[in-house]
């Protein structure tokens, strides 16, 4: 609830300033946190692929070994899709970011989402898996979204400019 209140304040602040790009950015942040920090688990995996190596710690299930064959399932790819729009919004809002900063933002996105799940598991029994693969796929989605935005801007004759402050 506290995180949602914070996102709401930022959405309203930018709405009042008619800074629509930032409104979309903060709504995207809100949506990602709602998808990943609520006690609802989705499973799109397949039992036929094998077992995923897990550990129990801090009230939750942890996946610390990346890219095991059983972990590359539909949910793996949906994590990329989930964060792709945030990468587009990142590049659209801050077009002058260096690519190292975009890569860092993608990594920070993945770590924040999974870290929030770890904290939620420890304090309120959120029941979510904390998965290194999600960090990687969230990072990939943000970076691919930013790349797509940059390519459209470059070859689609669409100009990226910083939003008014």
Give the per-residue pLDDT at 3: 86
Contacts of 60 (CB under 8 A, 6+ apart): 117, 118, 121, 122, 126, 127, 128, 129, 130
- Strand 55-57 with 129-131, pairing: unpaired
Give the per-residue pLDDT at 42: 67
CA distance linking residue 91 with residue 132, whole number of Å: 25
The strand order across the sheet containing 129-131 reads 55-57, 60-63, 129-131
pTM: 0.89
Enumerate the domain spans of the chain: 49-155
Give the per-residue pLDDT at 45: 59
The per-residue pLDDT for range 98-109, each reduced to its tens digit, is 999 999 999 999
Give the per-residue pLDDT at 131: 96
Q: What is the pLDDT along the chain (165 residues), one digit of tens a residue?
A: 788 899 999 999 999 999 999 999 999 999 999 999 988 766 665 554 568 999 999 889 999 999 999 999 999 999 999 999 999 999 999 999 999 999 999 999 999 999 999 999 999 988 899 999 999 999 999 999 999 999 999 888 777 776 655
């Amino acid at each position: 609830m506290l995180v949602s209140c914070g996102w709401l304040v930022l959405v309203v602040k930018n709405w009042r300033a008619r800074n629509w790009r930032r409104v979309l950015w903060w709504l995207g942040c809100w949506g990602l946190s709602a998808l990943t920090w609520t006690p609802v688990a989705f499973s799109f995996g397949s039992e036929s692929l094998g077992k995923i190596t897990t550990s129990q710690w801090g009230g939750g299930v942890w996946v610390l070994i990346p890219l095991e064959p059983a972990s590359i399932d539909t949910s793996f790819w949906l994590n990329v899709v989930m964060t792709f729009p945030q990468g587009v919004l990142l590049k659209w809002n801050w077009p002058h970011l260096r690519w190292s900063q975009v890569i860092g933002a993608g990594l920070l996105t993945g770590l924040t989402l999974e870290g929030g799940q770890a904290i939620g598991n420890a304090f309120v029994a959120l029941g979510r898996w904390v998965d290194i693969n999600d960090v990687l796929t969230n990072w990939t989605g943000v970076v691919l979204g930013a790349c797509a935005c940059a390519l459209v801007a470059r070859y689609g004759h669409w100009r990226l400019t910083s939003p008014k402050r």
